[in-house]
Amino acid sequence: MESGGEVHSAEEDTSAFTIRVVTRVGDLTSAVAEHTRPENAASWDPVGLQLGDLDASVERVGVCHEVNEEVVESLERQPVDLLVTYHPLLFEPTNRLLAGRSAEARAFRLVSMGVNLLVTHTDFDAAPGGTADALASILKLREPEPFGADALEGTPDIGRVGDFDATLAVLDALVSDAFGPNGLRITGNRHAHVARVAVVPGSGADFITVAAQRADALVTGDVPHHRAVRAADLGLAIVDPGHTATERPGMRALLDLIITVSDVEVVDLTAFDPQTWT
């Protein structure tokens, strides 16, 4: 480990992906875009290069779940040329970057260090092998299919639904084994048979109605009380291990993607979870 981040190189991994010669930020941005298709991201999602210069040189890349204080402090000890993050740092337009403790302040620190910032978020959820597929895989869903697209809302297929064929108690155990029992919330009859399971990484409460049409249970995070009541009315069980937990399998997939599409040194900062609840 180096300053909390494990260092990888492309030679350590084998993949069907084409490894690109990367000398500029723009080279890696293009290589990632070939797989994530940022044009498919949700309309509200600020994916792509969020801070920096496409023509800047790059030899060392960091990968993180979210640009939190721990990530920035690690980079201040051991800088990278480009940081690839799953959660965008700046969701809303801003007219000030001031020192302190805020997303804008972290952006200020990255700019001061000369760290470029690349975001892949809902485009990576929807992409083959991305966050949604990683979550479906860890829960052993069979033949998962994309779902959740809404052209009117500008939302891509950020969910997956697949065959499960076991009880809700079995699904509960799988989720608990994968993410730990702390904070896990479940609605529904644990003895009930679950033929199909839908998954949405992150906050998936908006997908309850469409999930109920295609599955018996939904695994996602951040489900509020009244949405859980609505799910129960629709006959949809909810398994909610938390926002971060449902995205965590995808962070391994994101790290692997960056390693396999480029020939640069890659630093794993995904262990610095954006965990807000203990």
201-260, pLDDT tens digit by residue? 999 999 999 999 999 999 999 999 999 999 999 999 999 999 999 999 999 999 999 999
Task: Say if 212 falls within a structural domain.
Answer: yes
Query: Residue 18's pLDDT band (boundaries 50, 70, 90)?
Result: low
pLDDT digits (tens, 9 = 90+) for 132-183: 999 999 999 999 999 999 998 899 999 999 999 999 999 999 999 999 888 8
User: Looking at the predicted structure, is the pLDDT value of residue 193 above 90?
Assistant: yes
Tokens describing residue 179 = 């993410």
Query: Residue 195's pLDDT band (boundaries 50, 70, 90)?
Result: very high
Distance CA 226, CA 11 (A): 50
Helices assigned H by DSSP within the chain: 25-36, 69-77, 103-113, 122-126, 131-138, 168-179, 208-212, 225-233, 243-261
Q: Are residues 42 and 88 in the same domain?
A: yes
Q: How many domains does the chain have?
A: 2
Q: Are residues 63 and 103 in the same domain?
A: yes
Range of the domain at 14: 6-121+247-268
Yes or no: say if 233 and 28 are a contact pair by the CB < 8 Å rule.
Answer: no
Residue reference for tokens 């697209």: 149
- b/e map of 255-265 (b: 16 or more CB within 10 Å)? bbbbbbbbbbb
Q: Are residues 80 and 21 in the same domain?
A: yes
Task: Say if 1 falls within a structural domain.
Answer: no
Task: Say if 81 falls within a structural domain.
Answer: yes
Q: Are residues 163 and 241 in the same domain?
A: yes
pLDDT digits (tens, 9 = 90+) for 205-218: 999 999 999 999 99
